[in-house]
Structure 1
């Protein structure tokens, strides 16, 4: 009798799992992915119908950024020639998810794409709506450059390249990040990118992690090369932001046609050590 009860219970359990699986499959709808060909030496531009809110890439072998000052254009290119197939997920302001499978094609990449609108025809490009005076931003950037107060502890040295964040300043809705790059080597350092991301806490390479790029409003001393045994101090003006728990600010410095890449990881407790610039 006991054996019979066990068999009955097992049968009922299997029936329950089967019914649940059928109900779950009915509730799920598949989101199709679009195939996208990108290159190392060319940039692919995608125009979305709404502002981009988050971007999730499946591999560090691709580079992604929003077009400067424009909220609904995404720019994509390969960071590694011949990368393995990967994916990209984008969420827009209308809470719609877009999925792309990315493949490498140096000869014939897709360069300019516009996604179908889900609303009435209207504005094609959406600019950030912060009311920021460009002239003021430039003047405050100079104040941040010459300010004597220094932030300590945010420094990284690799390949004879010193990369340090030595000042964070704020005025109104703009933050100013003072960054010093010192080339100790005798070989010139050609800058490919110096970019800011809010990221999840460190992940193992090649796993997907959510990241949001912060695009500078203005850059003071924006040189493209650090000569051998020389230095440069930049000031990056960025929209005001703070960082949630379990996230950090990543500041990436990447060498053009080289491998001397350096990265800083800055937590929120450091970002709040900010100096208020005097009003002009």
Structure 2
């Protein structure tokens, strides 16, 4: 989180207003807590992985949704399109006192004001390069750690394993392993991650939503017979709710082989 805030403030000065005690917002994994801001959300960051604040990054909106899992209290920092900064204490609670918060402009703790005109294209490019280098470094670190099996499935000589789920900053890292003992090379068409809710036998309640990776590390295009490959997917941070599980699927190109494995916390 410190790294994200550093990038955000690199070209800005932070003007702090008279500091007032921060409001506390309670959340849990059973319900969405909605926050409506006076301007569209530019960035939102939580201080701990057991809290997840989601908002529309592609088409900025005024609405943000908060969920939590049991754990230590944390904080939420939100910057809106007009550079206003809002900050809250976050706590987990089974019974929520409030589900909707309508935030007014005078609740801002300060503002972020650009000091000089920026070359937006250059800033975006530099930020992307720094972020990619950071992802690569952390993925390398994860692959050096001792693996353990969290979920595994084998079919027709192809084994798919989920070995680690790591929550760090505003991302979730999945460490996976692919092994081929089928005697035939396996050309990878895709490796996808889904968030699954409900029972597939009850179609009315079954939902499968793809989670698009932010970054992929050491993902093979081809799995040779007798070889094992370890890889990492970087995903936006998420919290699985009740009756939800993670589904990982690998499918063969120009063939009918596929393997699916499921994991629930």
Report the TM-score, using the length of structure 1 for normalisation: 0.47
Higher strand share: 2
Report the TM-score, using the length of structure 2 for normalisation: 0.49
Larger radius of gyration: 1
